[in-house]
Amino acid sequence: MEGRTRTVAFVTLGCAKNEVDSRDMAALLAQAGYRIADDPERADAIIVNTCSFIQPATEESIEAILDAAALDGVRGGAVPLVVAGCMPARYGDELAAELPEAAAFVPCSREDSIAEVLDGLLGGPSACAAAPPADAAADGGPSAYVKISDGCDRFCSYCTIPFIRGRYHSFPQQDIQREVAALVAAGKREIVLVAQDTGRWGTDLPEPSTLAALVDTLAEAHPDTWFRLMYIQPEGITDELVDAVASHGNICSYLDIPLQHCNGDILKAMNRTGDAGRFLELIGRLRRDVPDVALRTTLICGFPGETEEQFEELCDFVEEAELDYVGIFPFSPEDGTRAAELPGQVDDDTKQERTQRLRDIADAVSSAVIARRVGRRVPVLVCGIEEDGQRFGRTQAQAPEVDGATFLDAGEPGDMPTCVITDTLIYEMEGEVCGR
Ligand code: SF4
């Protein structure tokens, strides 16, 4: 393979944070002279960037690894298969014995060395060592994720993330500003700030700062770009942050606050704080202070010890809170977590039944909440055009990938026309362009 530019294909599993990690690895590889290929069947090496925070995610990652391992090049030994990300971080050396198909394992903490790993596997650096960096804006339409920190110190009793990703560490403000500026210059119209615990950003820096100060600076510097905040723990919703969101038209009136439950005893067993009363008070404050704010949360059903009464309390909470979007998951007992060892494990049938019951309630509540948007005039970020010419995009109330789309009658990807919302169907909306 000496003397030519080598190609690498990525298969990325899991959440937006993993997508950012794949993009960062791709940029490092491009700097080292590799070309990023879309098609794993035509690549000189394949990287599967895995997710492993719960068992179903691990199973999906294993499936993707085995699919890649079945490709002719990998089976024949000519194409090395690299397993990166959360699985090697979580399972360490055990993996080598379980997955002999993989040529190397690169945990999250060593992803900066991805080019050296591939150079080693392919027998030296790629020929085109002066290749330009990967175009960070080439993927994902007009929207891009930017990770502002990694790791988590909260140690919720059910969660593997602190073991996989390590202690919380904020990325420096200058690095984030530089990354955002490059994405905006490359045409991105929406920057989605992500982390495991977004609201804590800045508190651990040598010169401590806050998420509110960061997003305020970014919104001022890029007035034509939307900024969206994901994964803010309730404790991270400060008055300063609410002011920042309320006072900038380009900070999306949208907050994603993972609550996980509303019963105080269950939250305590989760090593979290709060209760239904405090959460309803927070939601009321946000609705009062941030006009037309859209709110998303995630909830867990069937945590160990959850009684039918506590589950009913969660159902009542979902009805009363009237959140725009609720992600609902059955509790998953993960090896190495305290919650997996707690007494009172709820059986699988009950967990599934409660999850479905709560999803039905949340769908009915959210459909009604979203239907109230009919008649509003709002900017829509046009994200793409389907084969039949149908335009689709998102309002500030819809985050990428999770909250549905808005279908509209005109506009090119990257445009942000004003639309009047004419109809809704559960999470989807329809709009007509009424201004630029
Ligand atoms: S805050 Fe989120 S990432 Fe951190 S331990 Fe809790 S669930 Fe896990």
Averaged pLDDT for residues 292-317: 97
Domain formed by 377-435, architecture: Beta Barrel (2.40)
**Fold equal for 7-122 and 377-435:** no
SS3 content of the chain, % helix, strand, coil (to 5): 40, 20, 40
Residue 14 and residue 85 in contact, taking contact as beta carbons nearer than 8 Å: yes
Residue in 17, 51, 196, 270 to alter for ligand 1 test, most ligand atoms within 8 A of Cβ: 196
Closest C-alpha to ligand 1, atom 8:
159
Q: What is the pLDDT of residues 84-138, one digit of tens each?
A: 999 999 888 888 888 898 999 999 988 999 999 999 998 877 665 444 444 444 4
Strand partners, 192: 145, 228
Q: What is the pLDDT of residues 202-236, one digit of tens each?
A: 999 999 999 999 999 999 999 999 999 999 999 99
233-268 core/surface letters (b: 16 or more CB in 10 A; e: else): bbebbeeebbebbbebebbbbbbbbbbbbbbbebbe
Q: Domain segments of the chain: what residues?
A: 7-122, 143-369, 377-435
Domain formed by 7-122, architecture: 3-Layer(aba) Sandwich (3.40)
Q: What is the pLDDT of residues 268-286, one digit of tens each?
A: 999 999 999 999 999 999 9
Could you give the count of Cα atoms lying within 13 Å of 14 in the half-sphere of its Cβ? Answer: 26
Q: 169 C-alpha to center of ligand 1: Å?
A: 14
Domain formed by 143-369, architecture: Alpha-Beta Horseshoe (3.80)
Say if ligand 1 is within 6 A of residue 197 CB.
Answer: yes
Q: What is the pLDDT of residue 131?
A: 45
Mean pLDDT of the chain: 92
| DSSP tag of 109 | G
Beta 169-170 vs 381-385: how paired, if at all? unpaired
Please give the C-alpha separations between residue 299 and each of 30, 55, 292, in angstroms, as whole numbers: 39, 17, 23
**Residues 344, 352: Cα–Cα separation, whole Å:** 16
